[in-house]
Amino acid sequence: MNHGSPLIARVKMCAVAACCALLSVLAPVTVTCAEEAEYRTPLAGEPLSGELWGHAFDIPARDRDYVRSLTLGGVFFSPKVGSDWGVPFGAFYWKKNKEPWRSRAVVGGFVNELDVARDFGRFELLGHWDNNTVPFPTDEIIDGQEIKSTSIIYGSFNGGVGVGYRLPVEPFQSDNALRAQLLYNAGYLYTGRVSDTGPDVKLPPSTFVHGFRLSVDYDSIRRNIMELPHEGWAGGIELELGRRNHWSDHTFGGTVFRGDRTRDFLKVSAFLTGATGIPGLSERHRLIGILHGGFAPKDTIDRFSAFRIGGGPFPSETDDLYRYWYPGAMFNQFPASDFVIASLEYRYELLFFLYLHLRGTVAEVNRPFFRQDRLKLSRLDFTHDYSGAFSLGLTSGLPWDSQLYLEYTYDTRILRNGVGGSSFLAQWSKSF
């Protein structure tokens, strides 16, 4: 069995060897400014000065209410996922909080989102925009295989307005608040066939989509100088109710999704995350846990309304904590009608700008599988699947206000239909 190219195997061995070398070489190294009776991890936004390897350094305070950054990277697979050995990604991030306005944007070109809030004391008027308008055909990865017959063009764009309530909470940083938001969203979902679309695939009509989204969340996490969770907890719950204006029966993998059952959809999701120290050890040692869950009533979800679980770095930014995340996966890799994903990480601070991550993840996901009936015809069914993953990562600050994150993940089954495999994530970010 082919488990990947020799190049990827060599990269895997080099990554593990590099992390072991870093542990043995850098663990004894300390920063002069931190050589105190009780070590204190430098926190996000705070100034820091000291001496490292005989050289003095002075890091000024940083305004966390105004952030601009560019992120570039890629995720690579061995063996491949579907037909892909790797997938690149990139986005521009912008956040500005200046009373009475708060705004945040993530711009990726074909996939973008924008949120704006106007404060009136504790209350807010809200505006939202998002679009997923990738112009290339999209096919589903099911049973670890790319199913060409599911290839179609589809996308959406949505705008929303609403009201909210925001109460700052300790430790009173820019991202620490209790928030409640109610948005009315309206947009357009479009679908279209391509040359690879299977002859048995019947698409629903392109249509106007609208509905409500209610969310309540709380974030008391204090981040460190690399914007990683250091102390505190956060949690939230979100309810989304939607309706397609024009809808019909449609097929996916030989299964008919009835229009009268899938026209309206209800989805509920929640998360809980926290970071803390380890008794008897210094602040260099941290434990971070995160739990995600989602639920939708049976037979009301289709490929266009399902939860989309994907990969990427560990969620840490306050508006990213809702992201349905499984390490080692591609962006929005697979649909699910309900799921539970739990992860526990041990993080060690090698230097004030260098962190080692050891993480374990378990998941139960109700996702599509192809099965054969008594007539040997393929049929798609949503079936519960279980999996686990182990991740080894490294976060490092770099010159010119930039940051590098490297991660190796071994997944036991969920990404490749019961076959274990490896993923390698490399992400570079630059602040402006």
pLDDT (tens digit, 0 to 9) for every residue of the chain, 432 residues total? 444 444 444 444 544 554 554 454 444 444 433 444 488 999 999 999 988 888 898 999 999 999 999 999 999 999 887 777 888 999 999 999 999 999 999 999 999 999 999 999 999 999 999 999 988 887 766 656 677 777 889 999 999 999 999 999 999 999 999 999 999 999 999 999 988 888 888 899 999 999 999 999 999 999 999 999 999 999 999 999 999 999 999 887 667 889 999 999 999 999 999 999 999 999 999 999 999 999 999 888 888 999 999 888 899 999 999 999 999 988 877 788 899 999 999 999 999 999 999 999 999 998 876 665 555 455 566 778 889 999 999 999 999 999 999 999 999 988 887 788 999 999 999 999
Q: CA–CA separation, 317 vs 93, rounded Å? A: 11
Task: Assign 107 to helix, strand or coil.
Answer: strand
Q: CA–CA separation, 425 vs 232, rounded Å? A: 27
Given a contact cutoff of 8 angstroms between Cβ atoms, the answer to whether 109 and 92 are in contact is no
| Core vs surface per residue 286-322: b (16+ CB within 10 A) or e | bebbbebbbbbeeebbbbbbbbebebbbbbbbbbebb
The token duo for 349 is 């601070």
Residue 115: what residue type? D
Burial class (CB within 10 angstroms; exposed 0-12, middle 13-18, buried 19+) of 125: middle
Q: CA–CA separation, 142 vs 333, rounded Å? A: 10
DSSP secondary structure, 262-318, as one string: HSEEEEEEEEEEEEEE-TTS-TTEEEEEEEEEEE--TT---TTTSEEEB-SSPP-SG
The residue assigned the tokens 């907890």 is: 233
Q: What is the 3-state secondary structure (H, E, C) of 217-264?
A: EEECCEEECCCCEEEEEEEEEEEEEEEECCCCCEEECCEEECHHHHCE
DSSP H stretches of helix in 86-205: none
Query: What Å distances lie between residue 271 and 56, 169, 281, 341, 343, CA to CA?
Result: 42, 19, 28, 9, 11
| Core vs surface per residue 181-196: b (16+ CB within 10 A) or e | bbbebebbbebeeeee
Residue 317: what residue type? E
Q: CA–CA separation, 431 vs 407, rounded Å? A: 21
| 141: β partners | 146
Q: Calculate ∠ Cα 310-313-316, nearest 5°.
A: 110
Half-sphere exposure of 331 (CA within 13 A, CB side): 14
Q: CA–CA separation, 47 vs 194, rounded Å? A: 55
Task: Assign 203 to helix, strand or coil.
Answer: coil
The domains located in the chain, with CATH, are 65-431 (2.40.160.50)
Rounded to 5 degrees, what are φ and ψ at 150? -90, 0
